[in-house]
Amino acid sequence: MREPWRDNGGHRFGRGANESGGAGPAMKIDIGKLSEALAADPDVTDYDFWRALQRIDDELFRIERDGRAIPMRMLQQRSIIKRARQKRSPGAMES
């Protein structure tokens, strides 16, 4: 039986797991700064943004279907990519 305070790898999460209250080391991510840098990168194409979002959404669907915990890092990555795509092409996320 799966213990509700452990993820699939057996790691603790939630209150008291570490000083930050999460499963891993405390790490502050500036989503706005990262998305601006990604949007300004000429090596990343609009197709790269679209493909990355599709892959993340597909993986999130599989995780949810299997009843596993969704990793916060994956949600942060999706947010960064969505914001970068929006900054580069303001009408890109409307469809």
Give 59-72 pLDDT, tens digit per residue. 999 999 999 999 99
The lowest-confidence range among 9-23, 29-43, 81-95 is 9-23
Tokens 């009843």 belong to residue: 67
Question: What's the average model confidence in pLDDT over 76-80?
Answer: 94
- Name the β-bridge partners of 12: 6
For 73-95, letters b (16+ CB in 10 Å) and e give eeeebbbbbbbbbbebeeeeeee
Q: Is residue 57 within 8 Å of 78, Cβ to Cβ? A: yes
Phi/psi-derived region of residue 45, left when phi > 0, alpha when psi is between -120 and 50, beta in every other case: beta
Closest among 69, 38, 32, 37 to 53, alpha carbons compared: 38
Note the pTM of the prediction, 2 decimals.
0.64
* Residue-level pLDDT at 12: 46
